[in-house]
A and B are shown apart, each in its own frame.
Chain A
């Protein structure tokens, strides 16, 4: 089968019709619009600032995508993030640099617990993920408030590395030079990407798609569906953990309510990025793009001088439109599949 030009064009056309391509198109359009409205958008400094503002949502969206692909949904992501920031800032003592390491270990452990609890609820106990994570979100919120009734806490100076290397005075010059070229936020996102990239090449990664696509078929093929859903929740927790590192690096404090608005936006970002709410479909990397798009939209609203008052409104409308069109596409393509002989 040689490279037939006609075949190549047919293959290209097929790719163009894919939802992923239109997502990329939208991203490019948004970037263009942002650059138009903010003259210095593409300058290093402002790009850096942009990336920093977007990072928490990007990481949360990627983690959420994994859960959604596995057939679930995590409404506790936001409060989980808050909890982790509170854990970090409660364990750390500014005077003691080593406490930063303890804090990281503790927060990671808590993140795993969060993932396991959600995973048990969703995967083993078969509680619908909406209401299960609804319930657990209160558990995380309560724990967070317990640790940090008001925003605050302590942080070691070197934690700033997670946010911006240049901000940490004690960094060696080589690191500082590196940090001015490659922002920490980017490193964190890349770690996340690498993490998922590796996982997607394993059985777990494949099975997450299988379980989300058709639970029964996956089960009948011998897959331990409960365990896979639990793993998906734990993977999500790891992404939330990375976001927590960033947040504490940036703000040097923990806040029990900081994550609240991020939950829905993370879900919306994943959906905008092409992840189907019904499960089994989508890409974690495109959820990243979805987060970029959503954040750019907000930025554009800001720069287009739409009054602050209108921003929530516009946000909400955009979320609905994004999800509606994504769902509509799903329904359409699934309907044509079902009509072919299998009368659903």
Chain B
């Protein structure tokens, strides 16, 4: 008896198709895993089911009824609860208060705290015995916060529980505890959807998996029937057809070292990262999403004042404690989220393009408009940016052109290392190719080195000379040459063959 059935789901964000044909079903009392590479559509589908997004097309049947939720609260009332990775606890309330938040029981207007504490203790005893329910949420470590989030979802007595990468923040012991609880819940008849980037976890806890690629469901395996075969799963995820790797322009990187990094550590996000970047090389940073790639680029750009490492650019020691230092040494960042970190959306193309110059020492007090305008025109030409005038607001441009502006601001600088944090995110295919071609031209002409992080594996495969695969803040593998293909990257990222 199918508890939930989603068919033909389609969802676009801006011009990007996240889901083209999402099909999914799950049953009560079964644990279904959702698998797929970054951008495959699996988390989009989960969010649509939970009511966070609305599908553009397709239908969802829950308990044999057609449903369309406007917000997560509606879904929750119906019995679908989702636990996100970005935690939504209230920091200054206690654990038990958080668990019952929004659904407190009470006598009349007064809250029944005793009942709330009892219920919370009950749930937590099964999930994470020993956790003090009187602790404030801000006093918990990330793993405990995640558990409390799960407890909160469960306290609503859902029929379908969607867990989106719940194990990302958990230690091994906590994971085991969570699995035990999940089996209990399943035995009680709850349907559970489970996502994880650790393949072994999925294989251990799930009864069946549905695999996504490129916005659609490409296969499902019932473990009881089909057995557990990691290679088969990975091949579904990556697609059997091997992409012929595009002939990379013959520009063998020199042996000179452009940037040397040793022992880069930052909080919990980066652990002892070391590498050498050669002149003219395009070094990719890969791995599953959220393993520290973005943080690595931000750290190299000098945006973490507390970062700890030894860095040398062109043989000269660089202190990466503020962006101005990195910029001065030619280490330039093209940030991932251009709206939040890269551009002033309402300001003009001109303002955006000259902005980095303002932080640079030695620039004149009065901005030399004419000279700057000429430089901007040149940059626009070089990167073929489609903008009518320099004075139009940046938000009026297409995503691809906006991204080119984020890149183009650095053209007049003496760039040594270009840090690209997912430059083609949210940019459509044609513009993406265009963008990369322009960057490749720059690399060729000026012998600039590039560190590229892309959430889309295709980009990494096409462009990179070398690839560092990251996992939980560490570099676990370096791939070169023929090893840079989707299959190998994904299996390395998921640590297949380990655990």
Q: Do any CB atoms of chain A lie under 8 A from CB atoms of chain B in the complex?
A: yes
Q: Which residues of A contact B (CB under 8 A)?
A: 201-203, 206, 209-210, 212-214, 216-218, 220-223, 280-281, 333-334, 337, 339-343
Across the two chains, which residue of chain B brings its CB closest to A216?
B88
Complex Cα spacing A212 to B93, Å: 11
Q: Assuming A201-B110, A202-B109, is B268 touching A340 (CB within 8 A)?
A: yes
**Residue B91 lies at the interface, judged by CB distance under 8 Å to chain A:** yes
A341 x B106 contact (CB < 8 A): no
Across the two chains, which residue of chain B brings its CB closest to A279?
B92
B106 proximity list for chain A (CB < 8 A):
202-203
Complex Cα spacing A210 to B101, Å: 9
Give residues 66-101 of B contacting A (CB, 8 Å). 72-73, 76, 87-93, 97, 101
B92 x A203 contact (CB < 8 A): no
B72 proximity list for chain A (CB < 8 A):
220
B142 x A222 contact (CB < 8 A): no
A217 x B90 contact (CB < 8 A): yes
Name the distance in Å between B284's Cβ and chain A's nearest Cβ: 22
B102 proximity list for chain A (CB < 8 A):
221-223
Complex Cα spacing A98 to B90, Å: 49
A339 proximity list for chain B (CB < 8 A):
267-268
Name the distance in Å between B147's Cβ and chain A's nearest Cβ: 14
Task: State the total of A-B contacts with C-beta under 8 angstroms.
Answer: 74
Across the two chains, which residue of chain B brings its CB closest to A198?
B110
Complex Cα spacing A202 to B106, Å: 8
**Residue B104 lies at the interface, judged by CB distance under 8 Å to chain A:** yes
B169 proximity list for chain A (CB < 8 A):
341
**Residue B184 lies at the interface, judged by CB distance under 8 Å to chain A:** no
Q: Assuming A203-B106, A222-B102, is B111 touching A340 (CB within 8 A)?
A: no
**Residue B476 lies at the interface, judged by CB distance under 8 Å to chain A:** no
Complex Cα spacing A231 to B295, Å: 41
Q: Assuming A201-B110, A202-B110, A220-B72, is B142 touching A342 (CB within 8 A)?
A: yes
What are 17 A-to-B residue pairs whose CB atoms are below 8 Å? A202-B106, A202-B110, A202-B111, A203-B109, A206-B101, A210-B101, A213-B92, A214-B88, A214-B89, A214-B91, A221-B88, A222-B76, A223-B101, A223-B102, A340-B142, A340-B268, A342-B87
Please give 14 more A-B residue pairs, beta carbons under 8 A apart, in addition to A201-B111, A217-B88.
A201-B110, A203-B111, A212-B92, A214-B88, A216-B88, A222-B103, A280-B90, A280-B92, A334-B138, A340-B142, A341-B169, A341-B269, A343-B267, A343-B269
Name the distance in Å between B268's Cβ and chain A's nearest Cβ: 5
Complex Cα spacing A153 to B94, Å: 50
Q: Assuming A202-B111, A210-B90, A218-B90, is B267 touching A341 (CB within 8 A)?
A: yes
A280 x B142 contact (CB < 8 A): no
B91 proximity list for chain A (CB < 8 A):
213-214, 280, 337
Q: Assuming A220-B72, A222-B103, A341-B268, is B92 touching A206 (CB within 8 A)?
A: no
Complex Cα spacing A341 to B268, Å: 6
A341 x B141 contact (CB < 8 A): yes
Complex Cα spacing A202 to B138, Å: 23
Complex Cα spacing A209 to B97, Å: 11
Complex Cα spacing A132 to B101, Å: 29
A334 proximity list for chain B (CB < 8 A):
138
Complex Cα spacing A148 to B278, Å: 79
Name the distance in Å between B114's Cβ and chain A's nearest Cβ: 12
Give the top 7 A-B pairs by smallest Cβ distance, nearest first.
Answer: A221-B102, A341-B142, A213-B92, A222-B102, A280-B92, A217-B88, A221-B101
Complex Cα spacing A238 to B471, Å: 56
Across the two chains, which residue of chain A brings its CB closest to B270?
A343
Partner of B104, one of A203, A212, A340, A342: A203
A206 x B267 contact (CB < 8 A): no
Complex Cα spacing A218 to B110, Å: 19
Partner of A206, one of B76, B111, B141, B295: B111
Complex Cα spacing A342 to B144, Å: 13
Complex Cα spacing A203 to B101, Å: 9
B88 x A222 contact (CB < 8 A): no
B73 proximity list for chain A (CB < 8 A):
222
User: Among B90, B139, B169, which residue has the most Cβ atoms of chain A within 10 A?
Assistant: B90
B267 x A213 contact (CB < 8 A): no
Name the distance in Å between A213's Cβ and chain B's nearest Cβ: 4
A216 proximity list for chain B (CB < 8 A):
88
Complex Cα spacing A281 to B136, Å: 11
Name the distance in Å between B78's Cβ and chain A's nearest Cβ: 13
Give residues 119-163 of B contacting A (CB, 8 Å). 138-139, 141-142
Name the distance in Å between B32's Cβ and chain A's nearest Cβ: 25
Name the distance in Å between A223's Cβ and chain B's nearest Cβ: 6
Complex Cα spacing A210 to B109, Å: 17
B88 proximity list for chain A (CB < 8 A):
214, 216-217, 220-221
A337 proximity list for chain B (CB < 8 A):
91, 138-139
Across the two chains, which residue of chain B brings its CB closest to A205?
B111
